[in-house]
């Protein structure tokens, strides 16, 4: 029996057990995937105990993603670059940390908007938090020619831009809508528009139908940004698939099968939102 799970505080809201449980069942793998509630104080010793108890690894969610990176014996380049880990693999008594959010973002876009060409023009990224780091690095790795970054706190965007070099330029939030007419994609990486958060106030008036608009928010699935962009004829991609695709590398590492993100899985998680 291969054991894995997801650690957070709180953890009751996590949809990861549905995702991994679905795949364990689909591929007939003898394994378990459970929710694990560790407070900040319990995290380090708790992870080491799971390792010593024979777990294959864990996903890590808020507020532990930075602590997970610090605790690891080895970290992937992308986890180091993002400054946080969401996936830990225990191998030969050592802890390996990875961050799969950027891969999840990109594979979701590839699956849901296969005709979109990353090289066709600049990307406009809204937000400069942890999710933005993952999205920006994925877009750069995929070959985006330029990236315009806007954030409420401009200094945070500038700090982030220095990590990525000249391909990332920082603009003021008020310039985001004017800039949006000349990009190939727009990505909302902020929590704005999510149930219980403030709305994202972003006019889609300048958008032409060739622009792909993506949101990392998945509750609601259809955010105002995506609705307004669809009305302008744009292709849109919601954030649910990023949640599903970011789970793929962990499952593969722990359980030995690379799982497929299919429509049934999407529906299962949607029902649970
Ligand atoms: P995550 O790791 O999930 O990306 P985060 O690091 O807290 O979370 O980042 C949240 C992002 O949403 C940031 O870009 C934040 O802007 P600031 O850097 O200015 O805080 C953005 N954000 C959150 N609430 C916002 C609001 N009410 N208006 C504008 N931007 C907001």
The answer on 166 and 124 residing in a single domain is: yes
Residue range 192-220, pLDDT digits in tens: 999 999 999 999 999 999 999 999 999 99
- Residue 145's CATH number: 3.40.50.720
Is 261's C-beta closer than 6 angstroms to any atom of ligand 1? no
Residue 135: pLDDT over 90:
yes
Could you give the number of structural domains in the chain? 2
Q: Whose CA is nearest to atom 6 of ligand 1?
A: 129
By residue range, what is the domain housing residue 212? 103-241
Q: How far is the CA of 190 from the centre of ligand 1 (A)?
A: 5
Structure tokens at 110: 């590839």
Residue range 117-133, pLDDT digits in tens: 999 999 999 999 999 99
Q: Atom of ligand 1 at shortest distance to CA of 130?
A: 2
Q: How far is CA 180 from CA 36, 122, 176, 183, 208, in A?
A: 42, 10, 6, 6, 9
Q: Are 181 and 206 in contact (CB under 8 A)?
A: yes
The binding site for shikimate comprises 14-16, 61, 86, 101, 218, 246
Is 187's C-beta closer than 6 angstroms to any atom of ligand 1? no
The answer on 166 and 215 residing in a single domain is: yes
What is the largest distance, in Å, between two alpha-carbon atoms of the chain? 56
Nearest to 85 by CA among 248, 93, 72: 72
The answer on 177 and 139 residing in a single domain is: yes
Q: How far is the CA of 265 from the centre of ligand 1 (A)?
A: 29
- Residue identified by tokens 């955010």 is 223
The answer on 80 and 178 residing in a single domain is: no
Question: What is the distance, to the nearest Å, from the Cα of residue 43 to the centroid of all Cα atoms in its chain?
Answer: 22
d(CA 170, CA 181): 17
| 65 is annotated as an active-site residue | yes
Nearest to 44 by CA among 81, 4, 95, 91: 95
The answer on 41 and 119 residing in a single domain is: no
Is 131's C-beta closer than 6 angstroms to any atom of ligand 1? yes
Residue range 55-108, pLDDT digits in tens: 999 999 999 999 999 999 999 999 999 999 999 999 999 999 999 999 999 999
- pLDDT value, residue 165: 85
The answer on 135 and 19 residing in a single domain is: no
The overall average pLDDT reported for the chain is 96
Residue range 30-47, pLDDT digits in tens: 999 999 999 999 999 999
């Amino acid at each position: 029996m291969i054991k894995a799970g997801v650690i957070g505080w709180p953890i009751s809201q996590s949809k990861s057990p549905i995702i991994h449980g679905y795949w364990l069942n689909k591929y007939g793998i003898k394994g378990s995937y459970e929710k694990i509630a560790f407070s900040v104080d319990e995290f380090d010793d708790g992870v080491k105990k799971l390792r010593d108890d024979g777990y294959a690894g864990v996903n890590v969610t808020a507020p532990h993603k930075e602590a997970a990176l610090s605790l690891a014996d080895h970290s992937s380049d992308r986890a180091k670059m993002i400054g946080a880990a969401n996936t830990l693999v225990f191998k030969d008594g050592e802890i390996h940390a990875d961050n799969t959010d950027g891969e999840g973002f990109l594979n979701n876009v590839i699956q849901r908007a296969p005709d979109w060409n990353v090289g066709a023009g600049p990307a406009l990224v809204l937000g400069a938090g942890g999710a933005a780091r993952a999205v920006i690095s994925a877009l750069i790795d995929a070959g985006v020619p330029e990236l315009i970054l806007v954030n409420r706190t401009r200094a945070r965007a500038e700090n982030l831009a220095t990590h990525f070099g000249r391909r990332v330029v920082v603009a003021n939030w008020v310039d985001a809508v004017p800039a949006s007419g000349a990009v190939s994609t727009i990505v909302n990486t902020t929590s704005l528009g999510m149930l219980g958060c403030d709305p994202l106030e972003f006019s889609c008036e300048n958008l032409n139908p060739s622009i792909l608009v993506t949101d990392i928010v998945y509750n609601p699935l259809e955010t105002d940004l995506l609705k307004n962009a669809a009305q302008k004829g744009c292709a849109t991609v919601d954030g649910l698939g990023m949640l599903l695709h970011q789970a793929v590398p962990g499952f593969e590492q722990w359980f030995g099968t690379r799982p497929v993100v299919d429509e049934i899985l999407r529906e299962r998680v949607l029902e649970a939102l």
